[in-house]
Amino acid sequence: MKVGINNPIYVLLLIMHVGAGLIGYGANAMAGWTARDVASQGPTDSVRRFFDGKVSLAQWCVVLVPVFGISLLLIRDASDISKLWFWAAVTIWVITLGLLTGKGWPAQRRLGSLLDAVERSDIEIRGSGVAVLRTQQIVVTLYLIAFFLMLFKP
Concatenated DSSP letters of 29-47: HHHHHHHHHHHHH---HHH
Q: What is the DSSP string of 17-30?
A: HHHHHHHHHHHHHH
Q: Give the pTM.
A: 0.90
- Residue of 151, 52, 67, 146 whose CA lies nearest to 99: 146
Which stretches in the chain have pLDDT values below 50? none
Domain boundaries of the chain, sorted by first residue: 8-152
Predicted pLDDT of residue 45: 87
How many other C-beta atoms lie within 10 A of the C-beta of residue 136? Answer: 28
Contact in structure between 39 and 133 (CB atoms under 8 Å): yes
